[in-house]
Amino acid sequence: MKKIMLMLKNGNKSAFIAACVNGIIAILKGIAYFMTGNVAMFAETLHSLGDAANQFFVFIGSALSKKAPTERFPEGFGRLVNLVLLGAVLIVGIMSYETIKEGFHHILHPTESTGIIINITVLLAAVLLESFVLFKAMKEVVKEVNIEAKGAAAVIVKSFSGLRRAKPATKLVFMEDMVATGGGLLAIIAILLAYFTPFKQAEGGASVFIGLGMFYVVGRVFLENAAGALGEADIDMRMKIGSLVMNDPEVRDIQKLAVIKEGENFHVELEIELDAHITIAEADIIKDRLIAAIFKERGVTDVIIEFDENDGISKWEERIRSDLNERDKKK
């Protein structure tokens, strides 16, 4: 039991906070829906319920991914968080379908809902809470990618530019709560339109748009974590480690450098060229020096270094140009 608690302590804190907050919000929205029968509130209830379940699984997965390697799994459990996220998006996908289906039903057969004060009060409280969680996720993104941001405005702006390089769990919380905050505001507008104008279909339309927003998150999370589960190369970290290695006075060139992202961790495989006169003892010192330097990079958990004789042909500069082109294409 103690080992489990220690593992959970290392889980993604943003996901845990988001799961707790969205669980409370889902209960409040559910009560409001049963009291008023408002279809936009139904969509928001499913949205928050799906987010809470999703983020709880993310927290568990991120904690279990920190488990040390075993004889059966010598490579460790880094990719477990990707597999958990792939399973978690199925929950959100089902919730998205139900939300869109109910929205279309209300557009075709609009009904007048009651309890506008209850609905607006609950949704305003939900938007405030979800905004709080979203801002926490933004701060976590900035922290994870080592971006300096002073003040709330800087955190908000710079978190979007750093989102691509954030940990999978943090990225999921960010996207889900961004859609949740926007969905809450959309639901408020739809309820006010349906109440003060003849446009009763507004609530159904909001439900459809909220469901589509959830589907967008499902698609993004699925594609990114499918790549992570397979073992995706991290271009930015590869360039960073490559520059670090090339700055060593004894390294002449890099023949091969692979930086594989495994969940929140990085696995590094490196083949470098040294001068022919370097002895085994000297090469061993160089290896220890490079491993120590690479392990200082955030998230690196495994480093393998091999040596080869310098052939006088520069390969790393060509690789840098290739990496820059590939990164520009992704942008």
**226 and 78 inside one domain:** yes
At 198-209, the pLDDT tens digits run 888 888 888 899
Q: What is the pLDDT of residue 305?
A: 92
For residue 306, what are the domain limits?
A: 235-330
Element (H, E) at 87: helix 80-108
Please identify, among 193, 215, 230, the residue that sits at the C-terminal boundary of a domain.
230
Residues of the chain with pLDDT > 90, as a percent, come to 15
| Residue (of 220, 293, 209, 223) closest to 251 by Cα position | 293
Please identify, among 230, 255, 274, the residue that sits at the C-terminal boundary of a domain.
230
Beta strand 253-262 with 300-309: parallel, antiparallel or unpaired? unpaired
Per the CB < 8 A criterion, the answer to whether 19 and 59 are in contact is: yes
At 273-319, the pLDDT tens digits run 999 888 889 999 999 999 999 998 877 888 999 999 888 888 887 77
**138 and 11 inside one domain:** yes
Q: What is the pLDDT of residue 327?
A: 61
| Residue (of 132, 141, 148, 142) closest to 168 by Cα position | 141
Q: pLDDT band at 331, cuts 50/70/90?
A: low
Distance, in Å, from the CA atom of 60 to the CA atom of 170, rounded to the nearest integer, reads 13
One-letter amino acid of 167: K
**302 and 274 inside one domain:** yes
Which residue is listed with tokens 């489990």?
Answer: 4
CATH of the domain at 20: 1.20.1510.10
At 205-226, the pLDDT tens digits run 888 998 898 888 888 878 877 8
Q: pLDDT band at 114, cuts 50/70/90?
A: confident
At 118-149, the pLDDT tens digits run 889 999 999 998 898 889 889 888 888 888 88
**71 and 50 inside one domain:** yes
Whole-model pTM: value is 0.71
CATH of the domain at 260: 3.30.70.1350
Once rounded to an integer, what is the mean pLDDT over residues 11-29? 84
At 243-261, the pLDDT tens digits run 899 999 999 999 888 888 8
Kindly tell me if the per-residue pLDDT of 329 is higher than 70: no
Q: What is the pLDDT of residue 4?
A: 58
Once rounded to an integer, what is the mean pLDDT over residues 102-108? 86
Please identify, among 202, 230, 258, the residue that sits at the C-terminal boundary of a domain.
230
